[in-house]
Structure 1
């Protein structure tokens, strides 16, 4: 029988929740990683290894690792540094594992990789060598590379999301990059500069299943879909309560299905619209949306959900999970039709990911 883990990154360490395939009863453990501030924690489906991206301006970056489902942990920051004289790296912000390579996105925005399972790191300089680099500007959370999306078939192809520089794409393992932001707005720019080549504030990227190049993007200024790997984006925000939010999560099998958590706006408090919690779901690629509220608080829901704090699992039906700025974790074992609170009173939750292990 499958064992389901929800891997939770928080401002004070990594936590794990474990259940069986029924996903009714959960056991919480943690905090791990010496209560370091964790920006993103993931599980590797092939090996069962758990990785946590950590750091802040005081402690600097590191990536923690557990090969025994949280029983013991090690960490390394060897090589997680820019050249002498450059602005120091404050934190590791995002992780992705593909074809034996572990990638880490950092602040100030850049990409590193490890080919020895996180023991040592090397800079992927092509991204910061892009001609647009001098014009990248930080978003509200800083100049961070917060999403790394590997291509489903070709390991040399990657998309990354940078606030507030936009989406960039490589097809040669990071040697060269191109912006892929056509069709996404930058409402904070002057009216004649609303659709620049780069400079958009992407909040999250989700790759649809199926082996193709359909991407979904929650942006500071709208919700979008691309069917060609980001060459062109189309707005799919009609029917949503807000154009603003942070996380999105793809269904594990249906490329038409996506889960989303809109917030009430960038200058209105950044909490649940009307203080009523809902996860919004589309089953038709964003043509229409349904609010899923059963089991979620419908009054006084003044919490936010950060850009990496929404995830699905690969079971049937798919599980959906999200964590709040107030330290509550919610889960659904029926694709959002009903919800239960899995944990509360955790530190502010930065990220939620899942790992399914077959016994």
Structure 2
């Protein structure tokens, strides 16, 4: 059983990240940036990844990292969710880094994976996994959208890739004559088109990638690529629950503060019993989500055999909770919550986008049913 309480080191990490985000990423700053030509805050990402070292948390010291674990990464993601921070942490420090960690560098890579991993850990470069953000773990099927020829050139299109707009390197699952492989493509490569999509979440833009004979470096072949992809998706789904928890915590705290201050009929809105009940129910669900998200992170950190079950529980519960918490935040703020100037809509959009990302709650519940030998949920 993993410890669901944070250690002193984890609390210090939380305090550092929260202080940075409070100073550099307040809601008004996110609102001002989200519809500009630069929705990502590159300066904040450099500070977060390089100066605070959060990009290296899951990377062993021998590989140039901090030698921490998924638990520390979950702490960071919870704070990023609380701030809806427009930084590519999920794509680079979670999905891409986990895929590289899973690779056997001796399988046709000539150490390329290790070099790229060290660059990501140092914050010098940013990467993302070139799969649709909606891709769920546990499907058992290797993506077939991109083909690799005998020379390693890639052809095909991948839609709705998160963090592709700011990635220096793309990790592309592709199938060639030898079978599945994982390839590295530089973002400035010729014959690569990165097309932004109109998406719901303005703080995590998506893009389509089109490869037309694009030069790539193979990092892994059939022996390692499928397992690396699956590990990245499973880890991403498990840690995304912590981001969803952070969203829900912000929405609950902000709504409680509003109902304490806002008065109607000479009384604070929070004194009305019906609103108390709604907030009490939400608080109980947040407590449950905190336990589920931290347990998932703990199993990922230790390589516990219970990882698939823990991830399915956390992803299914936290995905729905974040949306409900954001909806309550909008509704209980009344007319203010419906305005563009209030940040509640950013949290609702991030929560809804996260609910679809890396598998929907229904998809994870179906996976959970098979893992614990229960009949799948009714359609």
TM-score scaled by length of structure 2 = 0.23
The structure having more radius of gyration, on CA atoms, is 2
Greater fraction of residues in helix: 2
Q: Which has the higher contact order (CA 8 A, sep 6+)?
A: 2
TM-score scaled by length of structure 1 = 0.24
Greater fraction of residues in strand: 1
